[in-house]
Amino acid sequence: NPSGTVIVSGSTEKVLRVWDPRTCAKLMKLKGHTDNVKALVLNRDGTQCLSGSSDGTVRLWSLGQQRCIATYHPHSEGVWALQPNDTFTQVFSAGRDKNVYLTDLRQADRPTLVCREAAPILKMILTPDQTGLWIATSESTINHWTLNNRILSGQEAQEANEPVLQDHDMAIKGGPSIKTYSILNDKRRIVTKDTDDNIAVYDVLKACKIEELGKEDFDQVVKTRQQTVFVPNWFTVDLKTGMLTIHLGQDENDCLSAWVSARETGLAPDESLEQKVNYGGLLLQALLEYWPRPYTIEDESDLDQGGNNPRNGNGNEYFQVPGHTPVIFSEVGGRTLYRLLARDAGGETEGVLLNETVPSWVVDIVVEKKLPKFIKVTFFVLPHANLGYKTFKRERLIANDFLQIRKVIEHVYDKVMNGGSESGSGGGTPTGERKDREESTSQAEERVELLCNDQILDPNMDLRTVKYFIWKSSSDLVLHYRPLR
């Protein structure tokens, strides 16, 4: 209530709990609703309370008598918002059914259907002079409806089921919200369409919008940007806020499952050495780049030498995310533990709270730089049927899922067809030998081709892409080789 002598809370428990904020004592528990309590208002002196519930009813409670003294049933669905008049004799109620009813608390049987919104109603507020009602819905525009004395006195003649007011007279326009999205195969770009039918493309990894395309054909935009590449799912998307919310977790979509080549994904220049990076690991490092790591005694000497750079060893070497990116830590069930902007992680208070909330698996990646193990795939490389081999060794091979077909071709050429020297497919080659290595690779590609399900494979494809798009089975991948004449 306005003077702060009483607090009432409602929840999914279906009960109202009443507290005295001055002593923090729980005064009573009020039972009656049969579903989630979604709205509560108190009168000035804290003696009466109105509640709205998902059970579709509005109830009036006497806190002195500790009981419900009246129940109102104007709505066909859940009641989510209540707004009483100054004297607490009338209440506007609204919710899922989009209707706003005015009920005189002394005449329960005669509610007035004031107006009907275009979407479920979340909140209402009366203007100070009680002549207008501002209404917020699940859409982003807030509308104002003008009330006349006849409505307020309950004398307005009303047709059955038709609202007294047909249209609002003022609106505060909100921004458009994203209503549809498609995650591209590269598992990095997302194409979105908003409520104004504008199409945009976002880069999940760098947490930013990269293209605004206006009113285009959504499916066509997706189609033209799609690539034949398979990257494991490493995040999930949620549109509840009208913006893209990206969830990184260790549940069914492990955010550390996507290993890619830094060169091929454009993170590193083409002439750089081949380096594998983990999308989820990079993003977590970028989001917590400004978080000062809890340092130990050994680190103090570094700090004495002016090592107070906010990026001191933090972040990743490839990119930064915009400082205004909101970061939210929540429990698996969804309850928010802590939220902040990426750039604020360097603050003293934020640092302390992050030390308490950041889960240990994230600390391992961001602070300890311990990255997860590569994901392996098992496969067979067999001679093609038209080679007519009667007997051959079925050797089961195992490799990282991002290994390129080019490397398998090299292996077949060197080891199986003895095209090169025995040491030809050694794993780590010093940079000096890189040129010779590239020549032997192109030589191998000119002599051997690999097939899967009788489809010739592009040497640039990796094993997981072949398994997902061509093999299409969870059993061990089978590749066939044949020499090129």
pLDDT digits (tens, 9 = 90+) for 9-33: 999 999 999 999 999 999 999 999 9
The HSE-up count of residue 209 (CA atoms within 13 Å, CB side) is: 10
- C-alpha 213/C-alpha 193 separation (Å) is 10
User: Does the structure show a pLDDT above 80 at 227?
Assistant: yes
User: Does the structure show a pLDDT above 70 at 423?
Assistant: no
Give the confidence band of 306 by pLDDT, cuts at 50, 70, 90: very low
On average, the pLDDT of the chain sits at 87
Give the confidence band of 298 by pLDDT, cuts at 50, 70, 90: very low
From 181-190, 220-229, 291-300, 426-435, the region with the lowest mean pLDDT: 426-435
Residue 11 dihedral angles phi and psi, to the nearest 5°: -160, -170
- Counting every residue written for the chain, the total comes to 485
User: From start to end of 178-325, where are the E strands?
Assistant: 178-183, 189-194, 199-203, 208-214, 236-238, 245-247, 259-261, 276-278
Residues 243-264 have pLDDT tens digits of 999 999 887 678 999 999 898 8
Residues 114-147 have pLDDT tens digits of 999 999 999 999 999 999 999 999 888 999 999 9
Is the Cβ–Cβ distance between 184 and 225 less than 8 Å?
A: yes
Buried b (16+ CB within 10 A) or exposed e, 13-50: ebbbbbeeeeeeeeeeebebbeeebbbbbbbeebebbb
Position 313 scores a pLDDT of: 58
Instruction: Report pTM.
Output: 0.68
Give the confidence band of 164 by pLDDT, cuts at 50, 70, 90: very high
Position 428 scores a pLDDT of: 39
- C-alpha 470/C-alpha 100 separation (Å) is 56
